[in-house]
Chain A
């Protein structure tokens, strides 16, 4: 990679400053299998880096290494020029106070309301008055469209709301560095647009450095200054969005253009429709059978022999069809 200039020219890059994130030859494995196998990445101030890769390829693991939750098996991770695993606990906390992270699961504190979740970092790390904190909480929740959920417990809100609440908590302290683990998964298209807008706003107006893990290509290309594609624990390619689009690597091409083709290849449309038809058929058939049975009973009680015979015959051909309750068993 040559000098990674921001695609948005308004962002100043101060060369003297160390990169915000510097990952060198990072290796991390579980149970003898290397999930991350020699990752090299550098992220500069104000940049938005999007990380893409197949599900289970280690993106969340990479983020955990970046916040010092996993000890790397090899290599180094530096944030703000400081090697994470060389820091004393106090220094590590000082670094962590400068970053925010949105976990893939939201990871809200389940014993606290949404508002208390957002308030916690403010209460613990600032000297703000309770009224001021209250105001800040409302502002942050407003940003993610959750103003009305302030007093609900995490168990009482939906997955998408939990994710947005997690985002509100992550930005509570106005961090310089933000990690987003799939910020828009589980959100509707409108909310996805709002969250993408928020990510871009934070980057633009507050000069926040962002690392975004996402599977959503549309939002990836929308927010990214640079993108990286991971595969088999390695960086396949790094580049600006247009470079990624025209990347000749076959894995990247499949990844960028694949979704539509891959889907149709795996689930041919005819097969999917057929599956649906089967379900509908079974439903109809069950109803039909019960209607026939009713008619049969009526015919029998009224002694219409020909009718009874006809209905019995029709029923016997249908009986093999699973009935209403038995369906799917």
Chain B
């Protein structure tokens, strides 16, 4: 009985913590949107370069490998079915529909989310946030808005790059390791990409960008307790944004595959 009560209590606590967390993040989004009319282009561009351009190599590499992994791991089954050229189809669909946005989101949780959380948390413990507020400068408009827009925009661009490199990965494995004729591979690849998957992937990418930035900014803005607090904020930001991205991805999968398309 006691154990059960304690278990329920733990669930209740967990629930209320997350409810509070989501409430605060919703508030942050709302306040950020309010400052949208006073947006300036240069700070957004700065953040796009910081978190977008610099992330191209790692996002490319990860998605190239992911495309290759899918091709390699499907090959045995496809060979036994005597349909090895279908590798192109499987990679194209898997990458554009799920893997490119998801992997890019996860990589960017580490790449941008951690950096944003650490940066804002450091500013927080150094009283820089307080100094902004005391100077009638909104940290939301100054720090959160440019990062949010920059990361969302770059998530979409990076996901496009990821789409291409994932398919390139499949091509490398299909053509050079499974001996599928190149033109054949490309033909099947192009025929099997469901073109609406690309914009749907971009919607997901933008949503993941929102999640990454809002979680990171929230953790940074509530950080306290010196260097320890900065470390805690950074870890929490990455862990939370990975969890929320995965959950959101499931929600998107249900929405796009069942609800919008009909089960």
* Chain A interface (Cβ < 8 Å from any Cβ of B): 64, 67, 69, 92-94, 96-97, 99, 101, 103, 105, 107-110, 120-121, 124-125, 169
A97:B136 contact, CB within 8 angstroms:
yes
A107:B136 contact, CB within 8 angstroms:
no
**In angstroms, how far is the closest chain B Cβ from the Cβ of A63?**
10
- B131 near A: Cβ within 8 Å? yes
How far is it, in angstroms, between the C-alpha of A107 and the C-alpha of B128 when the chains are bound?
5
* Chain B interface (Cβ < 8 Å from any Cβ of A): 122-123, 126-128, 130-137
A110:B122 contact, CB within 8 angstroms:
yes
Q: Which residues from chain A contact B135 at a C-beta distance below 8 Å?
A: 96, 120-121, 124, 169
**In angstroms, how far is the closest chain A Cβ from the Cβ of B96?**
37
Report whether over half of chain B's contact residues are helix, strand or loop; otherwise say mixed: helix
A124:B131 contact, CB within 8 angstroms:
no
B137:A110 contact, CB within 8 angstroms:
no
Cross-chain contact of B126 among A96, A99, A101, A107 (Cβ < 8 A): A107
Closest partner residue, chain A, to B133 (CB atom)? A69
- Ranked nearest first, the 7 interchain pairs of A and B with the lowest CB-CB distance are A107-B127, A93-B136, A107-B131, A96-B136, A67-B134, A97-B136, A101-B134
Cross-chain contact of A108 among B128, B130, B136, B137 (Cβ < 8 A): B128
Cross-chain contact of B128 among A92, A96, A97, A110 (Cβ < 8 A): A110
Cross-chain contact of A105 among B122, B127, B133, B136 (Cβ < 8 A): B127
Q: Which residues from chain B contact A107 at a C-beta distance below 8 Å?
A: 126-128, 130-131
Q: Which residues from chain A contact B133 at a C-beta distance below 8 Å?
A: 67, 69, 96
B131:A64 contact, CB within 8 angstroms:
no
A109:B128 contact, CB within 8 angstroms:
yes
**In angstroms, how far is the closest chain A Cβ from the Cβ of B40?**
10
How far is it, in angstroms, between the C-alpha of A99 and the C-alpha of B134 when the chains are bound?
8
Closest partner residue, chain B, to A105 (CB atom)? B127
How far is it, in angstroms, between the C-alpha of A69 and the C-alpha of B179 when the chains are bound?
67
How far is it, in angstroms, between the C-alpha of A94 and the C-alpha of B136 when the chains are bound?
7
Q: Which residues from chain B contact A124 at a C-beta distance below 8 Å?
A: 135-137
**In angstroms, how far is the closest chain A Cβ from the Cβ of B34?**
10
Q: Which residues from chain A contact B122 at a C-beta distance below 8 Å?
A: 110
A69:B134 contact, CB within 8 angstroms:
yes
Q: Which of A64, A96, A107 has the most CB of B within 10 A?
A: A107
B126:A110 contact, CB within 8 angstroms:
yes
A103:B130 contact, CB within 8 angstroms:
yes
A97-B136, A120-B135, A121-B135 are contacts. A110–B123 as well, Cβ < 8 Å? yes
Q: Which residues from chain B contact A103 at a C-beta distance below 8 Å?
A: 127, 130-131
**In angstroms, how far is the closest chain A Cβ from the Cβ of B227?**
14
Cross-chain contact of A69 among B126, B128, B130, B136 (Cβ < 8 A): B130
How far is it, in angstroms, between the C-alpha of A69 and the C-alpha of B127 when the chains are bound?
11
23 A-B pairs with CB atoms under 8 Å apart are A64-B130, A67-B130, A92-B136, A94-B136, A96-B133, A96-B135, A96-B136, A97-B136, A99-B134, A101-B134, A103-B130, A103-B131, A107-B128, A108-B131, A109-B128, A109-B131, A110-B122, A110-B123, A110-B126, A120-B137, A124-B137, A169-B131, A169-B135
How far is it, in angstroms, between the C-alpha of A97 and the C-alpha of B136 when the chains are bound?
6
How far is it, in angstroms, between the C-alpha of A94 and the C-alpha of B135 when the chains are bound?
10
How far is it, in angstroms, between the C-alpha of A93 and the C-alpha of B134 when the chains are bound?
8
Closest partner residue, chain B, to A60 (CB atom)? B127
**In angstroms, how far is the closest chain A Cβ from the Cβ of B50?**
11
Q: Which residues from chain A contact B137 at a C-beta distance below 8 Å?
A: 120-121, 124
Closest partner residue, chain A, to B127 (CB atom)? A107
A107-B126, A110-B122, A110-B126 are contacts. A96–B131 as well, Cβ < 8 Å? no
How far is it, in angstroms, between the C-alpha of A96 and the C-alpha of B123 when the chains are bound?
20
How far is it, in angstroms, between the C-alpha of A110 and the C-alpha of B127 when the chains are bound?
11
**In angstroms, how far is the closest chain A Cβ from the Cβ of B47?**
12
How far is it, in angstroms, between the C-alpha of A307 and the C-alpha of B128 when the chains are bound?
68
